[in-house]
């Protein structure tokens, strides 16, 4: 048998045409129609109808063979009526001209007319290209680029210096990869060593440029700041594409920067990335001043939890906006022996954070080799639900699970709360404490070598506070035996430290 011949039933024969099916609902096929509402600018048409010239009538959709017109008053025409000197215009340009005819009419308020072109078809791809690419994207970019000229030359030049330094780092690390034919750079300790060496070599220059940008940015007007953010982000994200930490900060897959995955990356033992440059960016994020503070503030929460567990009694710990709760993983992994029950309550508005956090904590408990009296509860609550729970299940959960806690801590949430809301939140959290219970609220301070970059390069905006503002957060707290402000070991995170006395205020 010839190799090209196939036996009946051979699956290479293709489908049986008698068994093929058509549409299941929309049986009449129509060519693609573009809704003009999706364009940046409206489309219009002009034509001669029975000696009367109609100008600038609104177009509602367009296809290769015709378009739809919308009018308030009737055209006094019927299907088949010719429209001469017909011109379809978009953005002031005539995209089709010739003779057309009315194909169908739908009367009402407004009236709609389907018009068929009698002549060449319209090139929809060209229409899309002109509207979406040339006018919207490139036109908008050209306009914005001209606006960039209002930024100080020195400010823009320094952005370019930072960008070019980042480019040189990438090229150097790509060269290092090419030299390493065995790919040994992928081994975690090797990539860490290489990234550390590159950071130590380049950080002084990065730091110098960023600190100068921080100072000059203070002199920009509000409109210049907005332009500067756009300028810097368009520039730096060219290099940060594919680097998970800055990519998540900029694109905010969970809806906000600083999500649980970013906090996990900031405290990860191994560098992540498919290239040495991506791992360098991860190392860089961990070792700038605020990157080190993310780890440093976790030490404060960890030490507070250890002190509480050392008290020799059952305790309840609540982590608000828990994220990955790396500090609790370390507590459960390293504490020698739990003599009394420890109840851990994780509260976060991100369901993914709770799921990941719970899985990691359970894994740590499973690896201990003993059976510690640890109970973990998760509450998928937003801040609004915590402050103003609805009657019913929300209030019941607050009363049952959150009232009567020995330690409440939050390390990143207040970086996003304005002062009035932050003050109200502190007062409510303090009311949930047991007598003698402790509230720890962390808030980052602005740091010249870090804050500018995370704002202007990756659109990660935080509310920084100073010591006086932290003290003010406790002004509405009732029954505080002691209120103080401490600072983490890096010197860049302030902690409001409140200890309750008397009875908790059960007013949820």
Contact 119, 133 (CB under 8 A): no
Among 18-32, 175-189, 282-296, 472-486, whose mean pLDDT is lowest?
18-32
* pLDDT (average), residues 460-466: 97
Closest CA to 320 of 380, 275, 246, 278: 380
SS (H, E, C) 344-381: EEEECCCHHHHHHHHHHHHHHHHCCCCCCCEEEEEECC
pLDDT score, position 147: 85
Q: Is 262 exposed, middle or buried (0-12, 13-18, 19+ CB in 10 A)?
A: buried
User: Is it the case that residue 361 has pLDDT exceeding 80?
Assistant: yes
369 backbone dihedrals φ, ψ, rounded to 5°: 90, -5
Summarize pLDDT for 313-326 with one digit per residue, the tens: 999 999 999 999 99
* pLDDT (average), residues 461-469: 97
User: Is it the case that residue 503 has pLDDT exceeding 60?
Assistant: no
Summarize pLDDT for 199-222 with one digit per residue, the tens: 999 999 999 999 999 999 999 999
User: Is it the case that residue 110 has pLDDT exceeding 90?
Assistant: no
Interatomic CA distance for residues 470 and 475, integer angstroms: 10
- Under the banding of pLDDT at 50, 70 and 90, the label for residue 23 is low
Using CA atoms of 451, 457, 463, 464 in order, give the dihedral in degrees to the nearest 10: 0
Summarize pLDDT for 59-96 with one digit per residue, the tens: 999 999 999 998 988 898 999 999 999 999 988 888 89
Query: Could you tell me what percent of the chain has a pLDDT over 70?
Result: 92
- Under the banding of pLDDT at 50, 70 and 90, the label for residue 366 is very high
Summarize pLDDT for 32-63 with one digit per residue, the tens: 678 887 776 778 999 999 999 999 999 999 99
Q: What's the chain's average pLDDT?
A: 90
Q: Is 360 exposed, middle or buried (0-12, 13-18, 19+ CB in 10 A)?
A: middle
431 backbone dihedrals φ, ψ, rounded to 5°: -70, -20
SS (H, E, C) 96-147: EEEEEEEEEEECCCCEEEEEEEECCCCCHHHHHHHHHHHHHHHHHHHHHHHH
pLDDT score, position 506: 40
3-state secondary structure of 243: coil
pLDDT score, position 36: 80
Q: Give residue 76's Cα distance to chain centre.
A: 53
pLDDT score, position 138: 79
Interatomic CA distance for residues 94 and 468, integer angstroms: 64
Provide the sign of the torsion angle of the four alpha carbons 26, 27, 28, 31, taken in this order: positive
Interatomic CA distance for residues 99 and 112, integer angstroms: 19
- As given in the structure block, the two tokens for residue 230 are 């756009």
Among 19-33, 322-336, 347-361, 374-388, whose mean pLDDT is lowest?
19-33
User: Is it the case that residue 18 has pLDDT exceeding 70?
Assistant: no
pLDDT score, position 24: 63
Bridge partners, 101 (sequence order)? 82, 116
pLDDT score, position 16: 67
Query: Could you tell me what percent of the chain has a pLDDT over 90?
Result: 76
- Under the banding of pLDDT at 50, 70 and 90, the label for residue 129 is confident
Closest CA to 231 of 348, 302, 150: 150
User: Is it the case that residue 25 has pLDDT exceeding 90?
Assistant: no
Helix 289-309 crosses helix 326-334 at what angle (to 10 degrees)? 40
User: Is it the case that residue 505 has pLDDT exceeding 50?
Assistant: no
SS (H, E, C) 10-24: CHHHCCCHHHCCCCC
| 306: number of Cβ within 10 Å | 14
* pLDDT (average), residues 143-164: 92
DSSP 427: H
DSSP 155: H
Interatomic CA distance for residues 15 and 225, integer angstroms: 62
- As given in the structure block, the two tokens for residue 184 are 């040994």
- As given in the structure block, the two tokens for residue 305 are 């939890």
DSSP codes joined into one string, 263-302: HHHHT-SS---SSHHHHHHHHHHHHSHHHHHHHHHHHHHH
User: Is it the case that residue 474 has pLDDT exceeding 90?
Assistant: yes
User: Is it the case that residue 152 has pLDDT exceeding 80?
Assistant: yes
Contact 285, 195 (CB under 8 A): no
- Under the banding of pLDDT at 50, 70 and 90, the label for residue 14 is low
């Amino acid at each position: 048998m010839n190799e090209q011949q196939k036996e009946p039933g051979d699956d290479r024969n293709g489908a049986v045409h008698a068994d093929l099916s058509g549409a299941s609902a929309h049986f009449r096929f129509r060519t693609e129609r573009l809704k003009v509402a999706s364009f940046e600018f409206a489309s219009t048409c002009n034509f001669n109808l029975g000696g009367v010239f109609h100008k600038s009538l609104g177009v509602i959709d367009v296809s290769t063979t015709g378009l739809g017109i919308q009018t308030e008053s009737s055209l006094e025409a019927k299907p088949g009526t010719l429209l001469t000197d017909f011109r379809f215009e978009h953005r002031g340009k005539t995209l089709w001209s010739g003779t057309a005819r009315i194909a169908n009419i739908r009367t009402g308020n407004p009236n709609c007319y389907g018009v068929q072109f009698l002549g060449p078809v319209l090139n929809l791809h060209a229409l899309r290209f002109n509207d979406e690419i040339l006018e919207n994207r490139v036109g908008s970019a050209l306009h914005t680029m001209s606006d960039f000229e209002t930024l100080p030359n020195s400010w823009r030049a320094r952005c370019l210096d930072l960008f070019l330094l980042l480019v040189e780092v990438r090229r150097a690390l790509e060269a290092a990869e090419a030299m390493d034919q065995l790919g040994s750079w992928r081994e975690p300790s090797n990539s860490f060593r290489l990234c550390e060496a590159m950071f130590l070599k380049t950080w002084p220059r990065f730091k110098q440029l960023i600190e100068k940008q921080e100072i000059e940015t203070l002199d920009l007007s509000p409109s210049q700041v907005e332009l500067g953010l756009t300028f810097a982000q368009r520039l730096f994200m060219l290099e940060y594409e594919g680097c998970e930490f800055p990519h998540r900060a900029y694109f905010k897959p969970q809806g906000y920067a600083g999500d649980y995955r970013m906090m996990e990356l900031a405290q990860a033992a191994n560098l992540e990335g498919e290239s040495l440059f991506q791992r360098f960016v991860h190392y860089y994020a961990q070792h700038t001043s605020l990157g080190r503070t993310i780890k440093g503030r976790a030490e404060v929460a960890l030490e507070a939890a250890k002190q509480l567990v050392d008290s020799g009694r059952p305790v309840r710990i609540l982590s608000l906006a828990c994220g990955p709760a790396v500090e609790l993983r370390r507590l459960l992994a390293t504490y020698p022996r739990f003599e009394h029950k420890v109840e851990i309550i994780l509260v976060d508005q991100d369901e993914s954070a709770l799921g990941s956090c719970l899985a990691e904590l359970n894994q740590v408990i499973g690896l201990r080799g003993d059976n510690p009296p640890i109970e973990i509860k998760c509450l998928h609550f937003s801040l609004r639900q915590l402050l103003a729970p609805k009657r019913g299940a929300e209030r019941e959960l607050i009363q049952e699970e959150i009232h009567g806690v020995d330690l409440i801590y939050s390390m990143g949430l207040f970086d996003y709360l304005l002062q009035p809301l932050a003050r109200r939140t502190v007062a409510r959290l303090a009311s949930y404490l047991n007598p003698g219970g402790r509230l720890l609220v962390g808030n980052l301070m602005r740091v010249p070598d870090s804050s500018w970059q995370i704002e202007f390069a990756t659109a990660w905006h935080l509310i920084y506070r100073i010591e006086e503002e932290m003290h003010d957060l406790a002004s509405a707290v009732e029954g505080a035996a002691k209120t103080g402000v401490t600072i983490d070991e890096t010197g860049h995170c302030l902690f409001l430290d409140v200890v309750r006395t008397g009875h908790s205020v059960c007013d949820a």
